[in-house]
A and B are shown apart, each in its own frame.
Chain A
Amino acid sequence: MKPGNARRAALAVLFCLSLASVIPAAAQDLPAAPPAPPLDLTAEDTPNDRGHAIALSWVLSPDDDGSGRVTGYSVWRAVYRPGVAPADLDWTRVGSHSAGYLGDERLTHSDVSDDIVNNLPYLYRVEADGPGGASAVLLPASIMARAQWFNRARWNMLLAVLVLSAGIMYWIQKAQTSDIYLRPVAGLKAFDEAIGRATEMGNPVLFVPGIMDMDQIETLAGVSILGYVGKMTARYETPLEVPVSRSLVMAHAREVVKESYLQAGRPDLYNDDMIHYLTDDQFGYAAAVDGIMLRQKPAACFYQGKFYAESLILAETGNSIGAIQIAGTASPAQLPFFITACDYTLIGEEFFAASAYLSQEKRAIGSIRGQDVGKLIFMVALILGVFLVSLEAVGVRLPGWLDITALFDVSSGG
Chain B
Amino acid sequence: MLLKRWIPLFILVFVGVLTLIHWFVPHDPIGSLGRDFSQFFDIIASFAIILGAANLLKLQSLKISQRKKGWPFNLVTIIAFALTAWVGLNWHSYFGSGHHYLAGTHVNNPDSHFFWVWWYIFTPLSATMYALLAFYVASASYRAFRARNVEATVLLVAGIIIMIGRVPLGQQFTAWLPDHGFWSGFRLERISDWIYSYPNGAGQRAVMIGIALGVVSTSLRLILGIEKSFLGEE
Q: In the complex, are there CB atoms of A and B closer than 8 Å?
A: yes
Residues of B contacting A370 in the complex (Cβ-Cβ under 8 angstroms): 217
Q: Are B45 and A213 in contact (CB under 8 A)?
A: yes
Assuming A50-B32, A248-B48, A348-B211, is B216 touching A161 (CB within 8 A)?
A: yes
Q: Are A277 and B218 in contact (CB under 8 A)?
A: no
Minimum CB–CB distance from A163 to chain B (whole Å) comes to 11
Asked if A387 CB lies within 8 Å of chain B CBs, one says no
Number of interface residues of A (CB under 8 A): 86
Which of B90-98, B165-173, B225-233 lines the interface with chain A? B225-233
Q: How far is the CA of A157 from the CA of B141 in the complex (A)?
A: 40
Residues of B contacting A279 in the complex (Cβ-Cβ under 8 angstroms): 56
Which of A65-73, A125-133, A137-145, A258-266 lines the interface with chain B? A258-266
Contact-residue size bin, chain B (C-beta under 8 Å from the other chain): 35 or more
Of all chain B residues, which has the CB nearest A348?
B211
Q: Are B125 and A348 in contact (CB under 8 A)?
A: no
Mask: chain B, 10-31; 1 = CB below 8 Å from A; 0 = not: 0000000000100111111001
Q: Are B222 and A312 in contact (CB under 8 A)?
A: no
Minimum CB–CB distance from A110 to chain B (whole Å) comes to 15
Q: Are B217 and A371 in contact (CB under 8 A)?
A: yes
Specify which of B38, B69, B216 is in contact with A164 (CB 8 Å cutoff). Answer: B216
Assuming A147-B27, A375-B210, is B55 touching A276 (CB within 8 A)?
A: yes
Q: Which has the most chain A C-beta neighbours within 10 Å: B26, B137, B145, B214?
A: B214
Asked if A59 CB lies within 8 Å of chain B CBs, one says no
Q: Which has the most chain B C-beta neighbours within 10 Å: A50, A51, A147, A356?
A: A50
Q: Are B227 and A356 in contact (CB under 8 A)?
A: yes
Residues of B contacting A213 in the complex (Cβ-Cβ under 8 angstroms): 41, 45
Specify which of B38, B129, B219 is in contact with A287 (CB 8 Å cutoff). Answer: B129
Q: Are B217 and A220 in contact (CB under 8 A)?
A: no
Mask: chain B, 102-126; 1 = CB below 8 Å from A; 0 = not: 0000000000000000000000011
Assuming A150-B25, A248-B44, is B234 touching A374 (CB within 8 A)?
A: no
Asked if B147 CB lies within 8 Å of chain A CBs, one says no
Q: How far is the CA of A125 from the CA of B209 in the complex (A)?
A: 47
Within 8 A of B (CB), among A248-296: 248, 250-252, 255-260, 263, 273, 276-284, 286-287, 295
Residues of B contacting A353 in the complex (Cβ-Cβ under 8 angstroms): 214, 217
Minimum CB–CB distance from A152 to chain B (whole Å) comes to 10
Q: Which has the most chain A C-beta neighbours within 10 Å: B133, B222, B224, B227?
A: B227
Q: Are B217 and A340 in contact (CB under 8 A)?
A: no
Minimum CB–CB distance from B9 to chain A (whole Å) comes to 14
Residues of B contacting A277 in the complex (Cβ-Cβ under 8 angstroms): 51-53, 55-56
Mask: chain A, 300-334; 1 = CB below 8 Å from B; 0 = not: 00000000011011011001000000000010100
Mask: chain B, 133-169; 1 = CB below 8 Å from A; 0 = not: 1001101110111000000000000000000000000
Minimum CB–CB distance from A323 to chain B (whole Å) comes to 15
Specify which of A223, A248, A284, A368 is in contact with B217 (CB 8 Å cutoff). Answer: A368
| Majority SS at the chain B contact face | helix
Assuming A148-B26, A172-B226, A250-B51, is B132 touching A313 (CB within 8 A)?
A: yes
Assuming A312-B133, A356-B227, is B217 touching A49 (CB within 8 A)?
A: no
Q: Are A367 and B221 in contact (CB under 8 A)?
A: yes
Q: How far is the CA of A223 from the CA of B59 in the complex (A)?
A: 22
Q: Which has the most chain A C-beta neighbours within 10 Å: B44, B51, B55, B229?
A: B229
| Majority SS at the chain A contact face | helix
Specify which of A48, A168, A228, A337 is in contact with B229 (CB 8 Å cutoff). Answer: A228
Specify which of B41, B44, B234 is in contact with A359 (CB 8 Å cutoff). Answer: B234
Of all chain B residues, which has the CB nearest A375?
B213
Specify which of B32, B144, B208, B230 is in contact with A340 (CB 8 Å cutoff). Answer: B144
Residues of A contacting B141 in the complex (Cβ-Cβ under 8 angstroms): 340
Q: How far is the CA of A318 from the CA of B38 in the complex (A)?
A: 35
Minimum CB–CB distance from A399 to chain B (whole Å) comes to 28
Asked if B1 CB lies within 8 Å of chain A CBs, one says no
A-B contact pairs, 17 of them (CB 8 A): A148-B26, A150-B25, A224-B227, A247-B52, A255-B231, A256-B229, A273-B59, A276-B55, A276-B56, A277-B55, A284-B125, A284-B126, A295-B69, A330-B214, A351-B214, A352-B211, A367-B217
Partner-B contacts on A (CB < 8 A): 48-51, 147-151, 154, 157-158, 161, 164-165, 168-169, 172, 213-215, 217, 220-221, 223-224, 227-228, 246-248, 250-252, 255-260, 263, 273, 276-284, 286-287, 295, 309-310, 312-313, 315-316, 319, 330, 332, 335, 337, 340-341, 347-349, 351-353, 355-356, 359, 361, 363-364, 367-368, 370-371, 374-375, 378
Please name 5 further chain A to chain B contacts, defined as beta carbons within 8 Å, in addition to the given A147-B27, A273-B59, A370-B217, sorted by A numbering: A169-B220, A255-B4, A256-B231, A330-B211, A363-B221
